[in-house]
A and B are shown apart, each in its own frame.
Chain A
Amino acid sequence: MRLLGVALLAATLAAQQPAEQPQPAAAAERNLTGTVDFGYRALSGVGGDFQAYRSVVNLGEGPKLFALDAAFQDPSHRLFDRVDLRMNSWGGDPYNTARLEVRRDGAYRFTADYRNIAYFNFLPSFADPGLERGLLLNQRALDTYRRATDLELTLLPGTRIIPYLAYSRNSSRGHGVTTFVVDANEYPVPHMLRDHSDNVRGGLRLELARLRLNMEGGGITYHIDQQVYTSPERNYGNALRPVFGQTLFLERGNQSLDVRGSSRFARASFNLQPAGWVELAGQFQFSQPDNRTRYGQNNAGSFVDFSRLVLYSSELVALDSRARQPHTSGSFTAEIRPWRGVRILEAWLTDRLHSAGSALLTDQLLASGRPLEAQTLAAAERLSLNYHQQEVSLLVDVTRSLTLRGGHRYVWGNAETPPALIAGQPGPEPELRRHVALAGGTVRAGQRLRLTADLEASPGDRSYFRTSLDRYQRGKVRARYQLRPSLLFTANFSVLNNQNPAPGIDYDFLSRQNTLAAQFTPAGGKRISVLVEYTRYTLRSRLNYRDPASALRELSLYRDNGHAGTGLLDITLPGRGAVQPRISAGGSMVAGTGTRPARYYQPLGRLAIPFGARGEWYGEWRWYALSQPFYLFEGFRNHQFVTGFRLKM
């Protein structure tokens, strides 16, 4: 893809050349439009923790194709009417994307999407038992790439019968660190990860005046391959105390996981307008993923099996398992307009997911090379979920500028889960039951003011988890006011208050977000534009839990209060003709206090100097700085300098 990117860049630049000579290139100029943005990024060197920098920012040095956006229109309309190509962040950046769209009106539309996203995560404060001992050994780290390709071909778009075919491939590859868990100890070890899936789907859309039907079928195959291996040195893991007088260690070990699965899925939907005052729509979806797993493990060292109270030196494990998950969903909606300015919305949906798995495991323990004990275990588990929802809303246009809405939602369902693992209790069969009152409104004053409010509240009844929504009130208000053509104000207020007062739970959760934003663009922002956004957020959670060792009731408190802001000032300086330099300055910041205080700054400054009507040079400075008072070793700061050219085609 990189070669393709370079070739396309070269082609684009080549196509750019004729723009300098207006006479012969006049026809081509009309049909090829777009921009290309390329340059070089330099880093000052990362101060602080480089691994944290890579986990959060991860931008590197070197020449880059920052963006390419090109459209070509074929005046002859032979093979295509228009081709669009878009590429972003090529040249070693952690996120590369490309999109190609080719279409010919009434004949076909073809789209190809590609994205490659790096996922690097090495934060020593996360799940690191060595932290107490002053060791920054991340035991859960990842360095992977996720690539996704999506192709879709639609035939005869805009006609009554539209067939389409799509293919998607999604793959991930990389390595990381995980733990090799052997009964009483766990050992951080290298981890190889690889998975991919191929998804094919095709369907037919039927578009009549009052009835639209869509039928789609497809299948997916997927493969997950993971391996854990060890180095020849002894690994003493996290449990350093001797057990039965023996130090536990892992000398060599290997885990291999091979999962192969597939799924068929189908979807059918309709939209029907039997009359001007009613619209009906429905959808049915079905999928049935099914997979088979083969797992092998061998490990040698010094181990203890608490369940059998034996010390052993090596272990062989083999497992064969299967899992299947039929999943059926359906929804039906109706919009009825019985009188002018009155709308009744009815929505109903159901979702049923039943997951069943079985596994056969053989475990052989050896001591000093002699078989000690072998056991074969069979397990079968089942998880099922039945979810239903019914909602009815009434919308009334009280005046031309005011619409009020009220309604009711009823959510109900039940689940069946495997029995509790340790305590041996039978699995609970909890229910979900919730009545929710809905209200809202929209205020419009011409094109200048728009205000929407969404409110819902539930007295609580049955929920699945201690932290689930139970007795809650949720509100959202969004306002947008265009004071002058050049001045726009936006405000958002949202609140969620959730409580579960049941004895033994006593959950109290409150989250608020208030945002104010203003955009000032006099004369369409030709000379100056200003953008300011400010958000104040607070989150408070209070819930008791039971300490497993002491069985005492403790309190889990979580707070996250902070300020987030973005500001950007863009000024065009006086110049000669089209050569008018632009200066931009601003950036964003988050400053939070609470359980994990953090300050994250991303200021920027930019100078752009146009040359001619079709190009500009720019230079940019950015600073990334993360500081966390409780985890100072995870902070970083980094200056970045970018210089490049942006050319119009």
Chain B
Amino acid sequence: MAWPPPTAKQSHTPPPFRWGADLRGPLSVRATVAAILLCGLAGRPQAPTAKPAAEYAGSGTCAACHEEVAKAFRKNPHQRVGTGREWKGRACESCHGPGAKHAESASAPDILNPAKASPTRSEKVCLSCHSGQLAQLGRIHGGHGRNQIACSACHTIHGRPEQLKLNNAAVVNRQCRSCHTAEWAEFLRPHTHRLIQGAMACTDCHNPHGSSRPRSAQTVSGNEPGCFRCHGDKRGPFPFEHAPVRLEGCGACHEPHGSVNPRMLVRAEVRFLCLECHSNVGSRPALGGIPPAFHDLRSARYRNCTICHSRIHGSFVSRGLTR
């Protein structure tokens, strides 16, 4: 449980590092210091920031004024922080920092409130414990991390466990919708995944903390695209692959949030969807062969490519993806 470095306002509690303030200098110097630190990493717990015990007020003092918060916090998973060695009896201060001064003055500026602090600051409080969790690994790739969306924007820290960790699909979707209104509108179309109905949550497909895949998409079975969690019959590998499925993903042909076209296709007619790629004449190298001349588009048979090429996601049997 490493406490993040305090701000200048809390300079009475010297931090172990001041965000590189001790390490200013040419990049090579910092790189050397980083290497030393890497090599010297002992893996032992960081001391809970050698702060004088007098600075802490204890959770009991906090509860005297913040009665409602303390009551709700008793059922919160974070309350366990206060039972460990490092923060015994000081669970509140594990996130809010030393509270003795605030307890005396009852003044808000005398204590850190992560919900009102800058996102960088409040994120650091949460990540001091949660940064290594699997869900957080793609944080830097994700849009929320890039845009400094604070953890408290989605998680209610003091509340009931279900407010802290959102498991109910309807609640998750409502939370995402509050910002992603345009994406929510896509689910109002007739052909969609069953998200509005509560059968799915946004987090079934996206990792809100970030992921190395585009659009923070989830993965399954190691590094396979998350789509295969449900659409297992499209997983393959196929002896006869359809290249776009692997190279561009499902989004090459489908609008996963919803479409006015059946099967959530990105085009109203199947032939255009196929022929837009399968027309490589006179163009610079791009994938997609040319259908032979007997494909007479005046006949309805040939306007619906998936009538014959029914195994369009890949075939175990036929190179032409027909069976």
Q: A97-B169, A140-B306 are in contact. Are A222 and B281 (CB under 8 A)?
A: no
Contact yes or no, B182 A349, CB < 8 A: no
* Complex contact B300–A132 (CB within 8 A): yes
Task: Provide the residues of chain A in CB contact with B147, threshold 8 Å.
Answer: 440, 442, 452, 454
Set of chain B residues within 8 Å of A397, measured between Cβ atoms: 118, 120
User: Nearest chain-B residue to A178 (Cβ)?
Assistant: B310
Q: Is the CB of B247 within 8 A of A385?
A: yes
Complex CA–CA separation, A86 to B146 (angstroms): 34
Check B224 for interface membership: any CB of A closer than 8 A. yes
Q: For A264, give the chain B residue with the smallest CB separation.
A: B222
Q: Which residues of A contact B184 (CB under 8 A)?
A: 533, 566
Which residues of the other chain, A, contact B33 by a CB distance below 8 angstroms? 275
Interface bits B136-154 vs A (CB < 8 Å: 1, else 0): 1111110100111100000
Contact call B286/A269, Cβ cutoff below 8 A: no
User: How would residues 163 to 189 of chain B score, 1 for a CB under 8 Å from any chain A CB and 0 otherwise?
Assistant: 000011110000000111110111011
User: Of residues 112 to 167 in A, which have CB atoms within 8 Å of B's CB atoms?
Assistant: 115, 117, 121, 123, 125-132, 139-140, 146, 148, 158
User: Is B52 an interface residue when CB atoms closer than 8 A count as contact?
Assistant: no
Whether the Cβ atoms of A319 and B246 lie closer than 8 Å is no
Complex CA gap A267/B220 in Å reads: 11
Tell me which residues across on chain A come within 8 A of B140, comparing CB atoms: 281, 333, 335, 345, 347
* Chain A-chain B contacts (Cβ-Cβ < 8 Å), number: 481
Residues of B within 8 A of A351 (CB): 223
B156 at the interface (CB under 8 A from A): no
Residue among A69, A222, A503 making CB contact with B282, cutoff 8 Å: A503
Please report which residues of chain B, range 245-283, place their CB below 8 angstroms from some CB of chain A when the two chains form the complex: 246-248, 252, 260-263, 266-268, 270, 272, 275-283
Within 8 A of A (CB), among B192-234: 194, 197-200, 212, 219-224, 229-230, 232-233
User: In the complex, are the beta carbons of B247 and A186 less than 8 A apart?
Assistant: no
Q: In the complex, what residues of B have CB within 8 A of residue A422's CB?
A: 289-292
Given A69-B168, A131-B300, A466-B279: A323 and B18 interface contact (C-beta under 8 Å)? no
Q: Does B88 contact A (CB under 8 A)?
A: no
Are B190 and A279 in contact (CB-based, < 8 A)?
no
- The 8 A CB mask of B12-25 against A (1 = contact, 0 = none) is 00011111110110
Question: Is B43's CB under 8 angstroms from A210's CB?
Answer: yes
Contact residues in B for A333 (Cβ distance below 8 Å): 138-141
Contacts of A600 in B (CB 8 A): 188-190
Q: Does A410 contact B (CB under 8 A)?
A: no
Classify the interface of chain A: helix, strand, loop or mixed. strand
The answer, yes or no, to whether A301 is at the interface (CB within 8 Å) is no
Whether A101 sits at the interface, judged by CB under 8 Å, is yes
Q: Residue A295 at the B interface, CB < 8 A?
A: yes
Contacts of A420 in B (CB 8 A): 289-290
Residues of B close to A199: CB separation below 8 A? 220-221
Within 8 A of B (CB), among A319-340: 319, 321-325, 327-329, 331, 333, 335, 337-340
Stretch at the interface among B65-73, B99-107, B312-320: B312-320
Q: How far is the CB of A406 from chain B (nearest CB, A)?
A: 11
> Nearest CB to that of A270 among chain B residues?
B132
Chain A residues within 8 Å of B260, by CB: 560, 562, 590, 592, 596-598, 628
Residues of B within 8 A of A276 (CB): 4-5, 15-20
Q: Please state if B46 and A105 are interface contacts (CB–CB under 8 Å).
A: no
A548–B297 CB distance below 8 A: yes
Question: Which A residues between 568 and 601 are near B, CB-CB below 8 angstroms?
Answer: 588-590, 592, 595-598, 600
Q: Which of A209, A417, A549 contacts B243 (CB 8 A)?
A: A417
Asked if A463 lies at the interface with its beta carbon under 8 angstroms from chain B, I say yes
Contact A127 B306 (CB under 8 A): yes
Cross-interface CB contact of B286 among A324, A466, A494, A546, cutoff 8 Å: A466
Indicate if B60 sits at the interface (CB-CB under 8 A): no
Contact B276 A543, beta carbon cutoff 8 Å? yes
Contacting pair B295 A84 (CB below 8 A): no
**Contacting residues, chain A, for B197 (C-beta < 8 A):** 89, 95
A window 420-465: CB within 8 A of B: 420-423, 425, 428-430, 440, 442, 444, 446-447, 452, 454, 463-465
Residues 242-298 (chain A) with a chain B CB within 8 angstroms? 255, 257, 259, 263, 265-267, 269-279, 281, 283, 285-287, 289-291, 293, 295, 297
Q: Is the CB of B223 within 8 A of A327?
A: yes
Q: By the criterion CB–CB under 8 Å, are B261 and A596 in contact? A: yes
Contacts of B261 in A (CB 8 A): 596
List of A residues within 8 angstroms of B116 by Cβ: 446-447
Q: Which of A212, A425, A492 contacts B181 (CB 8 A)?
A: A492
- Closest A residue to B281 by beta carbon equals A546
- Whether, in the assembled complex, B51 has its beta carbon less than 8 Å from a beta carbon of chain A, the answer is no
Task: Judge whether B20 and A337 touch: CB under 8 Å.
Answer: yes
Q: Given A381-B319, A415-B243, A440-B147, A274–B34 Cβ distance below 8 Å?
A: yes
The distance in angstroms between the C-alpha atoms of A343 and B308, with both chains bound, is: 54
10 contacts between A and B (CB under 8 A): A140-B307, A209-B1, A263-B222, A267-B222, A333-B139, A464-B287, A465-B252, A466-B276, A504-B282, A590-B188
Besides A276-B17, A335-B140, A428-B287, 4 more A-B contacts (Cβ < 8 Å) are A95-B194, A289-B235, A355-B236, A359-B239
